[in-house]
Amino acid sequence: MLRTRLLPWFTLSALGLGALAGCERAPEAPAVAPPAPAVAAAKPPAPDAVAVAKLASHFFQAPRGEAPLPADTEAQVALGRMLFHEPRLSKNHDVSCNTCHGLDTFGVDNKALSDGHRGQKGSRNSPTVYNAARHIAQFWDGRAATLEAQAEGPMMNPVEMAMPDAKRVEATLSSMPEYTARFHAAFPKERKPVTLAHAAKALAAFERTLTTPSRFDRFLAGEHAALSVAEQRGLEAFVTTGCTTCHNGPAVGGTSFQKLGLVEEYPMLTDAGRFDATKNEDDRGYFRVPTLRNVEKTGPYLHDGSVQDLPTMVRLMGRYQLGRTLKDGEVDDLVAFLKSLTGELPPAERIS
């Protein structure tokens, strides 16, 4: 196995860290001559243009072996948008994809564990659906190779949407004339267009439109002033400390599986991770690296939602993935960079 040193989880899907509490001190007796104010240590400058170009190169390449995205039609995307918000795809008609992956809240519900059928909670945090089309696989354990495969799972999951089988999903959709018409428009060559597989394809087509361009993209395009000096320092720290070993490519992550606790055993880790999907002992404790796009908005972090804030997550990743105790200034710069990955949501008429 490769032992990559990085932030597999700058999930950073997993980054969060708590600010240190200030300590109280008893007031000191006034000195005869008050000392001169301490001069704050000067922050290092932003990297130069040559260094910036080298740093940016980590985020252009697509994952190795990535297949081209399907040619989705407008009718399929429109149908997928309806289905994404459709609670009648759940047994009690009260849970939709948008329930756990709120499109107006950056594709998450900001809960450690989401509420599903009859208020049941799963065992893993709901990852964002934004920019998920660039992931090597779907779910924390990568058990779904494509967005289409992922879309089918929650409908029949007894904890999530709890539909008993594909026939119930298809019967429900077929009972509504508008859906029948839209499935025919989306899949005009199919003799039986209203199927679970076609519903999943439409959902995937819609999700492939869910991207969030940010200031970081303008920076990558050559507009270096799009990032502040602190954010550029954070980018430099992100690369030089090893975070890009896992968090690379256009989605700043999502392109590999990594072990949580690579350098030091992660405390109280009970989730077997990718082992649940592969039953391969070598995959125990491995998870799909999350995208860091919009990470400022998608907490709480990690597969179990156990980390509440971004600075804490950064410190944890530094320790357990890189074997480093990050200094306060490094954490500040890294968090500044991560916040530059917060993008623009699609127009309301496209996601409502």
* Catalytic (active-site) positions: 160
* 156/215 Cα distance (integer angstroms): 39
- Which residues touch 79 (CB under 8 Å, ≥6 apart)? 179, 182, 183, 185, 186, 202, 205, 206
CA–CA dist 327, 320 (Å, integer): 15
CA trace torsion 20, 264, 235, 252 (10° rounding): -120
Neighbours of 44 (CB within 10 A): 12
Q: Show the CA angle centred on residue 85, arms to residues 142 and 253, nearest 5°.
A: 30
Using CB atoms within 10 Å of the CB of residue 163, give its burial: 0 to 12 exposed, 13 to 18 middle, 19+ buried.
buried
